[in-house]
Structure 1
């Protein structure tokens, strides 16, 4: 076993290095410390066979549960909701059981999927507002495709949102920031993937979404001003990893609305690759295309209505890699242009 595999197994078990140290010491009657775990993970010291055996056994005995991927960026208009809708659909086409959780009070994903029925969902008490603010059991707020009119063609299970969810930021109570994680944990065996659409800010709802996640993808529009806030969301992710969710993994930055024919888009993509070289990956760009607008007006998911379009295929590629636990597809290296 090498350090990368050890780190992956620890992440799957949702353990910090300190948690892993404590568990190994209990199970093996040892006195390992955190620096030792760190040296193992950085391949600076060989991993003992009994440690490798214990970790492998813990993971293999773990019940198969859903993985939670969060789409997050504090800036609006970057394709976060579009990415949530299409990634969830891509995972569904792979045969996965998928739940989409709309944690944005603006409810863009909800309205896109339910049209006028989003009001009825609120009246039925089936929204993330009732889940988070009223402690309603998650099983009572999930909308299944059979729960909505057939003409809506809801492609996967959904927890709808409502403007009332914005009251979350004023709530102060112990452990409130892990309320979503606790709720999702109770239905994880019913799904393969849970996709969370976080709101466009760095408040409680975003913290709550990240605290519930296994992976986070940050959509970023390839516009100069949009890249300036990448450091803010990455800083928030780092704090969540340290304080609330050590198992959270930053899977990469997802460039959106990309036009390879425009020099400014190519320059922004190059800037992201340079800026983030030692921090995270820049994923395959999602091209700018009219298929997204057409799908939204028709109340459809773009990958559903245009499954062979070059603009939607990146979501399918990312979904396949996530589901196979293989490296995510990366953006092509952009060479700096010469005048």
Structure 2
């Protein structure tokens, strides 16, 4: 790869030199600066082979349809929205065009990213409510990362939600569970990854997310009541696979707020690994850490602003595995999470 070709490739990717630098650093674990990218493009410095390979990989992915990933669990408070936001930020940080669809009427992801400005987006007719219940095309409901709403500081594009979306659960219309999938199909070539944050129930919106998805990841807090509910969700997923979406697969059970120093956490993790064997893999746990609360307090996403924190490393590794088609990191009971940013803080 020579400089001119690299410049053309970056323009095809619709990335600035700074964005390309960030993507390469995230994918290769390097610390390149913008001036290095400029020297490569101007032919003043040879382009390393691994850099050329990563750019080629990004170009190849542009020609494929987006992979749609749903985050679902019928129970609230399990880290579903946190996981959706952090995985989306990881994909975008590594150079992938990423869209997050907030399909939860509680609008937690929308509030996180837009704050009070989420209501403005809804009033402007740009929310998932308008797509599903007012027949507005999904691409017209997207709030770009650079949109002036809330300062345009989001790391990825967003389709926001609103409490009015709760009306959808009472809608009776033939094939309505396919509505989101139809909307996504029209813009699937515009993104590499589309993340769906499903509501905390097994209602119509969750079915809609599963019908639209290629992969479902199930966040589960490592507490006994949460682990017990996994069986019901896996059964629901199997029915969706059989009746409505044969391409859907389970990407894994994702333990969240895991504290290796707590015996109950270790026992729940052991139970999940044994109980789901043959049905779903249990992914590397996300450790409990103050880094998530601190980021949320500042309206930010932990994996975006604290990417070197050990607490967010599982999200980075899982996203990297999905993006490259490799097997994701799995849970092991001998993992040492004692050195997280939270230093073994107990659960509330």
Q: TM-score, normalization: structure 2? A: 0.77
User: Could you tell me how far 1:148 is from its partner in structure 2?
Assistant: 2.6
**Contact 1:128 1:161 survives alignment (8 Å):** yes
Partners of 1:289 and 1:190 in 2: CA distance: 34
- 1:35-46 to structure 2, matched below 5 A, reads none
Give 3-state SS (helix, strand or coil) of 1:321's partner.
Answer: helix
User: Which residue of structure 2 lines up, in the alignment, with residue 125 of structure 1?
Assistant: 125
User: Could you tell me how far 1:187 is from its partner in structure 2?
Assistant: 0.2
- 1:181-220 CA-to-partner distances (Å, cap 9, x unmatched) read 0000000000000000000000000000000000000000
User: Which residue of structure 1 lines up, in the alignment, with residue 65 of structure 2?
Assistant: 65
Give 3-state SS (helix, strand or coil) of 1:285's partner.
Answer: coil
User: Which residue of structure 2 lines up, in the alignment, with residue 296 of structure 1?
Assistant: 296
Give 3-state SS (helix, strand or coil) of 1:146's partner.
Answer: coil
- 1:1-339 to structure 2, matched below 5 A, reads 64-149=64-149, 151-333=151-333
**Contact 2:266 2:333 survives alignment (8 Å):** no
Partners of 2:324 and 2:310 in 1: CA distance: 22
Partners of 1:187 and 1:325 in 2: CA distance: 22
User: Could you tell me how far 1:152 is from its partner in structure 2?
Assistant: 4.9
Seen in structure 2, the aligned counterparts of structure 1 residues 260 and 96 have a Cα distance that, compared at 3 Å, is same
User: Could you tell me how far 1:151 is from its partner in structure 2?
Assistant: 3.5
Q: Runs ≥4 in structure 1, deviation > 6 angstroms?
A: none
Give 3-state SS (helix, strand or coil) of 1:145's partner.
Answer: coil
Partners of 1:177 and 1:323 in 2: CA distance: 27
Runs (5+) with no aligned partner, structure 1: 1-59
Give 3-state SS (helix, strand or coil) of 1:70's partner.
Answer: strand
Partners of 1:150 and 1:208 in 2: CA distance: 28
User: Could you tell me how far 1:239 is from its partner in structure 2?
Assistant: 0.6
Partners of 1:249 and 1:189 in 2: CA distance: 21
**Contact 1:75 1:200 survives alignment (8 Å):** yes
User: Could you tell me how far 1:123 is from its partner in structure 2?
Assistant: 0.7
Give 3-state SS (helix, strand or coil) of 2:255's partner.
Answer: strand
User: Could you tell me how far 1:150 is from its partner in structure 2?
Assistant: 6.5
User: Could you tell me how far 1:277 is from its partner in structure 2?
Assistant: 1.3
Give 3-state SS (helix, strand or coil) of 1:288's partner.
Answer: coil
User: Could you tell me how far 1:94 is from its partner in structure 2?
Assistant: 1.0
- 1:83-107 CA-to-partner distances (Å, cap 9, x unmatched) read 0000000000110000000000000
- 1:2-58 CA-to-partner distances (Å, cap 9, x unmatched) read xxxxxxxxxxxxxxxxxxxxxxxxxxxxxxxxxxxxxxxxxxxxxxxxxxxxxxxxx
- 1:269-307 CA-to-partner distances (Å, cap 9, x unmatched) read 001011111211000000001111111110001111211
User: Could you tell me how far 1:157 is from its partner in structure 2?
Assistant: 0.5
Partners of 1:320 and 1:63 in 2: CA distance: 19
- 1:127-150 CA-to-partner distances (Å, cap 9, x unmatched) read 000011111011110000222347
- 1:217-241 CA-to-partner distances (Å, cap 9, x unmatched) read 0000000111110011101100100
